[in-house]
Amino acid sequence: MKAFAPLAGLVIACVASFAHAHTPYLLPASFDPMHGNLVTLDGAFAEDFFAPEVVFDDSTFTATRPDGTTVPVDTVQRLKTRAVVEHMIGDGKGTWRFSSGKRLGAVIRTWELDGKKETTRDPAKPMPAGAKLVSQYQSVYLSETYVTAGAPSKGALRPYASGLEIVPVTHPSDLYTGERFAFAVHFDGKPLAGAKVEVFPGTGDARSKKGTTLTTAADGIATFPLASAGTWLAVVKHRGPAPAGAAAPEYGYGYTLTFRVLDP
């Protein structure tokens, strides 16, 4: 395993996850391109990972080449439970980054009345007289993964420096049991200290809801011990100011990263 920066400390607690109702993900059929270098992925929302329930829609899927340039994917077929994405990488050897693109979701309001809080996604539902608005934000989702043809490369791993993202420190195509996956959480290009990142096993059933919680250090870095082989989903959330003209004063950012761990 090769790290791009020194590993930082972490705080780990095993918990019963983010109460993740319909969390988005982007999952490759294979992390090693096959069938003439055709990459196929599913983009969906699910409660059990990776059992698709709701299609990831209203976004533009992209592929970032090993040289760091980004293009729209070749084909997207949206079904009821998932979006099926296909992209031919041709002779583009190295690591590719696949992204769902940002998707704006519902505006979520929470108010408090007589010591009780109520949350709604219904824009037509009026806030009761005398209630106090506690929060109002619009969800923004982004799901990503990495696929490598040949040897791992770094060009596609460069951060966006915009919004919420997980920036790999250890290469995401070089993960083996008995080692650690180090990554940084950034928000608008700056390390996000104290961010809670949940990592879930992709078992496809209720076991996938039992995640591990990591807390980023002052430099935004956390490390995940790679105890078991398989496919995993890292989830991080953050609330931040929305841009002018947005449907709510805040955005509720959500970012997910799908990665694979192999036995040595």
Percent of the chain scored above 70 by pLDDT?
92
- Rounded to an integer, the average pLDDT of 192-211 is 93
Q: Are strands 221-225 and 212-215 parallel, antiparallel or unpaired?
A: unpaired
**Domain-wise residue ranges, the chain:** 21-163+185-193+235-261
For 31-40, 96-105, 164-173, which range has the lowest pLDDT when averaged over its residues? 31-40
Determine the pLDDT at residue 21: 66
Q: What angle do CA 213, 232, 155 make, to 5 degrees?
A: 105
Q: Is the pLDDT of residue 233 over 70?
A: yes
Q: Is the pLDDT of residue 240 over 80?
A: yes
- Rounded to an integer, the average pLDDT of 216-229 is 97
- Rounded to an integer, the average pLDDT of 168-186 is 98
User: Using 50, 70 and 90 to split pLDDT, how confident is the model at 204?
Assistant: confident
Contact indicator for 259, 232 with CB cutoff of 8 Å: yes
| Mean pLDDT, all residues of the chain | 91
How much is the pTM?
0.90
Residue 207 φ then ψ, to 5°: -65, -25
Residue with token string 């760091």: 68
Percent of the chain scored above 90 by pLDDT?
86
Q: Is the pLDDT of residue 198 over 60?
A: yes
Task: Give the separation between CA 146 and CA 173, rounded to whole angstroms.
Answer: 7
Task: Give the separation between CA 16 and CA 13, rounded to whole angstroms.
Answer: 10
User: Using 50, 70 and 90 to split pLDDT, how confident is the model at 91?
Assistant: confident
Q: Is the pLDDT of residue 8 over 90?
A: no
> Which has the higher per-residue pLDDT, 68 or 91?
68
For 12-16, 41-45, 91-95, 189-193, which range has the lowest pLDDT when averaged over its residues? 12-16
Determine the pLDDT at residue 23: 95
